[in-house]
Each structure stands twice: as structure tokens, then as C-alpha cells.
């Protein structure tokens, strides 16, 4: 019988009001239920929001460096459990164990980084025009923050929302993704063990339609930070902006890698395989379009296909496996649907294209990494986010054509260039429509101490992570203080 995991509300581990649970299933082995989580509803959201609102004034009055201490302690606890937490993540999400370990380490680093921000919440002192008047700004917390997170980075994303929200003096209600709620649970558990006061952090599992919806509509909420699909994010935008709440949306991408004719082709092929297929292409920053200059197209494609064919697909807990399964039956169906759409529109499958079967594959949602040639810019495979291990190859006549193709999508999350031409590198950095820009690196693989976010339809609101995160979770108070009468 699988373990039952409770919600964390007002400092207590509690069952949800309906007493019902939902299963968290291993996508590499659907016979395994990783855990049972609370199928919460609006009544549980109400409890959590009330607890968060009650705790907020005392938490805001707690000196920020002391707030940071709880994050440091939680980081220590998580580090002591690194192996267990990483294995759990592989079991609930499917990514390989090394990738899961990297992500848990990143969550730990995020807790430490924002723990340090407790002692570093800089503001300004600015001279007054008037005599004996002292002017400065200060950061004030917003109040209660609603955090809604996706399944694909089930530890890092909750961490990079919770840590800055908490250290800035907000209290939090977190709704994790239903497909991978355990990794976020482990962070909440560590913070609870670290002694974070009751009500400051609340965790409510349950479906987006029920819990997520009730959460963003609750009157105590002052800020909403959401990461997930454009469909859900755009619907939240309509609701949340009407109430003039602070809002941050991180959504989809159709991230391009441009390879210019001067590139080292083996290096470029490695960059593309990493960007497109690691984490099964289930990264918002995954590369799904390779835009290659005509003179090197054929030679690069041969190297790319050869490398891709060698990728070992399987259960991420097995040593040597490089790509795990799709996260669930729906995502696998979406991947297969787009393979059919691409074929119908005239693209050719250069490798992959099929669900894997036989042996361990029968128990999970495994798919071959898939590459398409003959892709035109207007095809759906070149325009729509799939969120699977599917890479579309486009031919560019020259650099200008490559930039036109790269910018010709409605998304603008990340983009990369492979080239040693310094002029082109700078022209790319200046002209590319993306929030995250990499050169001679994959589109994915960002770090927690720098701002994160996109442009166009990928994102809305202030950046996450790095120093920018505190701007979202605080508002500026401006003080004019005359020290004589």
C-alpha cells in the first residue's frame, strides 16, 4: 500500500475535507504508485488562506535575516536526504537520476541563496531637496502569495517561488502539480522541520481546476506566481489582473538553436541533443527547433541523427539511461499526435517517431527521440509547443534568414546560437526575441542566481530567480522623514 501524504496547513499535517486522495504514479512503471495525495478542494484552500493571513503580520515583523535562517536549516536537511529525494523525483516525474540529483541540489542552492537574501534586502537612500529631511526606500512584503507549480521541475520551481516569497516576509499557500507533488512536499517538510512558524507556509495538493482556481480567487491573496501552460496561464491572467494582484506567469516555449556554418559540427550536435532530448524534452527551455545554415545542414544532420540513435531510453533509475518516459499518458498522446501532424504536413521523420514497446517499455510511457526534416516555418511542428522529445530541423539561407525563422514564433523563452563568429554572436544577442539567451550552450541549463523569464507569449510580469525575484515579492515604500520640527 502506497504512503499517504497530507496537506500542511496552519502548522499541522492534515487530511483534506473530503478525506479523498489521488495517486501519484511512476511514469516509467505504471504499476508503482509513488504516493497518495490529498484530493483537496475549496474548503481546504479556505483553511490554508486563513492560516497564511493570520501568520503574515508576525512573519513580516520577524527580522529578515532570521527568516533566512529557516531556509538555511531546510537546505541542510534536504542535503542530508539528497539521494532519497532524487530517487523519489525520478520515480514521480521520470527524469533520470543524475538530472533529478541536479535538480534537488539546485533547490538546496536556491534555499541557501535566498537565505542569504535575508541579510541583503537592499533599498536606496536618496538625498532630499529639503533641509533636515531624510529620504529612503524600503521593501515591504505583499501579504499572502499563491504559488502554483508544474510537474516538470517539481522541486526547483516550488523552491524558486517559495524561498524569495518567504524571505521577503510573505506567507505562502503552495499548490503543487498533481503529477509530481512529492518533491514539493519534501521541501515543505524540510521547512516545517526547520521550525518555520505555523501558518507561514501551507501546502495544499489537489487538482488545478479545484484547488488552483479557489486559491487565486481567495480574497486574502495579494500575489500569484504561476508556472505552467499558456492555456492555464492566460486564463489566470484574465482573473488576476481584474483584481489588480501582483502576477507572474512563466509559460511555454518553442525554443530555437541556430547553428551557423562556422560551427564545430560535433559540438553543435551535442548541444542539440542535450537541449532537445534531456529530461525527455519536457523542459520549458528545451530546444524544439534547430535552425541550421544551408552549407552545413546535411553534414550536421548526419552527426545529430547518429548521436540521437545512440541515446539510451529507459527507467531513469537505471545507470546509463539518458532519457526517461513522457510524464503521463496524456503527454505521450500529445507527443504521438504531433508526430502524426508533422508527417501529415509533409515533414520527414529522420529518426524515432514511435512509442517504445516490449520488456520494461510496456509498463511506462516511453517514446523514441524524434527528429523531423523538411519542416517549413508555418508548420505546426515549427510553431506549437509539444513538450516532448521532438526536434524540428529548419534550413536557413544565411544568418538573417536564421534570425527571421528563430523570431517567427509567438513564444520567446530561450534561444541559443552555436558559432565562433563574434560579430554574429553579438548580433544574435541583440536581435533575438528571447528572455534567456545562450551562446555555444544548449537552450536549457539556467542557473538560480540569475534572473529567469521570457518575452512575447512565454511570460508575463517580473522575472523569477536571482536578485530580480525579490522585486516581485516586495513592494517599495518611499519614506520622507524630517528629523527637526
150 binds ligand NAP (CB under 6 A): yes
For residues 172 and 180, give the distance between their C-alpha atoms in angstroms, rounded to a whole number.
Answer: 19
The smaller minimum CB distance to ligand NAP, of residues 50 and 207, is found at 207
213 binds ligand NAP (CB under 6 A): yes
The smaller minimum CB distance to ligand NAP, of residues 68 and 252, is found at 252
178 binds ligand NAP (CB under 6 A): yes
Check if the beta carbon of residue 68 is closer than 8 Å to that of residue 163: no
For residues 293 and 252, give the distance between their C-alpha atoms in angstroms, rounded to a whole number.
Answer: 26
387 binds ligand NAP (CB under 6 A): yes
Binding mask 281-300 for ligand NAP (x = CB under 6 A): ---x----------------
449 burial level (CB within 10 Å; 0-12, 13-18, 19+): exposed
- Shortest distance, CB of residue 256 to ligand NAP, whole angstroms? 15
For residues 140 and 474, give the distance between their C-alpha atoms in angstroms, rounded to a whole number.
Answer: 5
The smaller minimum CB distance to ligand NAP, of residues 106 and 424, is found at 106
Question: How many other C-beta atoms are found inside a 10 Å radius of the C-beta of residue 219?
Answer: 9
Dihedral pair phi/psi, residue 134, rounded to 5°: -110, 125
At CB < 8 A and 24+ separation, what contacts does 370-373 make? 370/335, 370/339, 371/301, 371/304, 371/305, 371/308, 372/342, 372/347, 372/348, 373/301, 373/347, 373/348
The smaller minimum CB distance to ligand NAP, of residues 300 and 415, is found at 415
207 binds ligand NAP (CB under 6 A): yes
**Which listed range, 46-54, 86-94, 111-119, 202-210, lies at the site for ligand NAP (CB under 6 A)?**
202-210
- The x, y and z cell numbers of residue 302, run together, are 548526419
Active site residue 284: yes
Which CA distances in Å does 399 have to 119, 145, 272, 421, 441? 46, 44, 18, 11, 18
- Shortest distance, CB of residue 96 to ligand NAP, whole angstroms? 18
Of the residues 44, 92, 385, 457, which one makes contact with ligand NAP according to CB under 6 A: 385
Active site residue 135: no
Of the residues 232, 272, 436, 470, which one makes contact with ligand NAP according to CB under 6 A: 232
86 binds ligand NAP (CB under 6 A): no
- The x, y and z cell numbers of residue 248, run together, are 507572474
**69, 250, 293, 464: the active-site residue:** 250
Of the residues 114, 151, 237, 428, which one makes contact with ligand NAP according to CB under 6 A: 151
251 binds ligand NAP (CB under 6 A): yes
**16, 47, 117, 284: the active-site residue:** 284
Half-sphere exposure for 80 (CA within 13 Å, toward CB) = 6
256 binds ligand NAP (CB under 6 A): no
Q: Which residues of 262-296 are buried (b: 16+ CB within 10 A; e: fewer)?
A: ebebeebbbbbbbbbbbbbbbbbbbbbbbbbbeeb
Question: How many other C-beta atoms are found inside a 10 Å radius of the C-beta of residue 258?
Answer: 26
Binding mask 388-427 for ligand NAP (x = CB under 6 A): -------------------------x--------------
The smaller minimum CB distance to ligand NAP, of residues 46 and 229, is found at 229
For residues 350 and 392, give the distance between their C-alpha atoms in angstroms, rounded to a whole number.
Answer: 10
Q: How far apart are the first and last CA of the chain?
A: 72
221 binds ligand NAP (CB under 6 A): no
**Which listed range, 126-134, 148-156, 261-269, 395-403, lies at the site for ligand NAP (CB under 6 A)?**
148-156
Of the residues 35, 68, 228, 281, which one makes contact with ligand NAP according to CB under 6 A: 228
The smaller minimum CB distance to ligand NAP, of residues 42 and 65, is found at 42
- Shortest distance, CB of residue 224 to ligand NAP, whole angstroms? 9
Binding mask 330-369 for ligand NAP (x = CB under 6 A): ----------------------------------------
Closest CA to 156 of 91, 111, 210: 111
For residues 65 and 166, give the distance between their C-alpha atoms in angstroms, rounded to a whole number.
Answer: 11
**Residue in the structure block whose three cell numbers are 511506462:** 364
Total binding residues toward ligand NAP, as defined by CB under 6 A? 29
The smaller minimum CB distance to ligand NAP, of residues 169 and 252, is found at 252
Q: Classify 475 as helix, strand or coil.
A: strand
DSSP state of 364: T
Which residues carry out catalysis?
A: 250, 284
Residues near ligand NAP (CB under 6 A) = 148-153, 175, 177-179, 207-209, 212-213, 216, 227-229, 232, 250-253, 284, 385, 387, 413, 458
Amino acid at each position: 500500500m502506497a504512503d499517504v501524504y497530507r496537506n500542511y496547513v496552519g502548522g499541522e499535517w492534515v487530511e483534506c475535507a473530503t478525506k479523498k486522495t489521488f495517486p501519484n504514479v511512476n511514469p516509467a512503471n505504471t504499476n508503482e504508485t509513488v504516493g497518495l495525495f490529498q484530493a483537496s478542494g475549496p474548503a481546504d484552500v479556505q483553511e490554508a488562506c486563513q492560516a497564511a493571513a493570520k501568520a503574515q503580520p508576525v512573519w513580516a515583523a520577524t527580522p529578515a535575516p532570521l527568516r533566512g535562517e529557516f531556509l538555511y536549516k531546510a537546505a541542510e536537511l534536504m542535503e542530508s536526504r539528497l539521494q532519497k529525494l532524487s530517487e523519489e523525483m525520478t520515480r514521480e516525474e521520470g527524469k533520470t537520476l543524475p538530472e533529478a540529483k541536479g535538480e534537488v541540489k539546485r533547490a538546496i542552492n536556491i534555499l541557501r541563496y535566498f537565505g542569504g537574501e535575508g541579510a541583503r534586502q537592499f533599498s536606496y537612500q536618496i538625498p532630499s531637496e529639503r533641509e533636515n529631511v531624510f529620504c529612503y526606500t524600503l521593501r515591504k512584503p505583499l501579504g499572502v502569495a499563491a504559488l502554483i507549480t508544474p510537474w516538470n521541475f517539481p522541486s526547483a520551481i516550488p523552491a524558486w517561488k517559495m524561498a524569495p516569497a518567504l524571505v521577503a516576509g510573505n506567507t505562502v499557500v503552495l499548490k503543487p502539480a498533481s503529477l509530481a507533488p512529492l518533491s514539493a512536499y519534501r521541501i515543505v517538510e524540510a521547512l516545517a522541520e526547520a521550525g518555520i512558524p505555523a501558518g507561514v507556509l501551507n501546502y495544499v495538493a489537489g487538482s488545478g481546476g479545484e484547488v488552483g482556481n479557489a486559491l487565486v480567487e481567495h480574497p486574502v491573496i495579494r500575489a500569484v506566481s504561476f508556472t505552467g501552460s499558456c492555456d492555464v496561464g492566460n486564463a489566470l491572467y484574465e482573473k488576476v489582473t481584474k483584481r489588480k494582484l501582483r502576477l507572474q506567469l512563466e509559460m511555454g516555449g518553442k525554443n530555437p538553436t541556430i547553428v551557423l556554418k562556422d560551427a564545430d559540427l560535433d559540438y553543435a550536435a551535442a548541444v542539440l541533443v542535450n537541449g532537445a532530448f534531456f529530461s525527455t524534452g519536457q523542459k520549458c527551455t528545451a530546444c524544439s527547433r534547430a535552425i541550421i545554415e544551408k552549407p552545413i545542414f546535411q553534414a550536421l544532420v548526419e552527426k545529430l541523427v547518429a548521436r540521437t540513435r545512440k541515446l539510451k531510453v529507459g527507467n531513469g533509475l537505471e545507470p546509463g539511461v539518458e532519457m526517461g518516459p513522457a510524464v503521463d499518458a496524456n503527454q505521450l498522446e500529445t507527443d504521438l499526435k504531433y508526430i502524426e501532424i508533422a508527417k501529415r504536413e509533409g515533414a520527414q521523420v529522420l529518426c524515432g517517431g514511435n512509442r517504445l514497446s516490449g520488456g520494461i517499455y510496456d509498463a511506462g510511457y516511453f517514446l523514441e527521440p524524434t527528429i523531423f526534416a523538411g519542416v517549413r516555418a508555418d508548420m505546426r511542428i515549427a510553431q506549437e509547443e509539444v513538450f516532448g522529445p521532438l526536434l524540428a530541423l529548419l534550413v536557413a539561407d544565411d544568418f538573417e534568414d536564421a534570425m527571421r525563422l528563430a523570431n517567427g514564433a509567438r513564444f520567446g523563452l530561450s534561444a541559443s546560437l552555436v558559432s565562433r563568429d563574434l560579430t554574429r554572436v553579438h548580433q544574435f544577442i541583440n536581435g533575438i526575441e528571447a528572455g534567456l539567451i545562450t551562446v555555444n550552450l544548449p537552450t536549457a541549463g539556467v542557473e538560480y542566481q540569475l534572473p529567469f523569464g521570457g518575452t512575447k507569449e512565454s511570460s508575463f510580469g517580473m522575472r523569477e530567480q536571482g536578485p530580480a525575484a525579490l522585486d516581485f515579492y516586495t513592494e517599495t515604500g518611499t519614506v520622507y522623514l524630517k528629523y527637526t520640527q
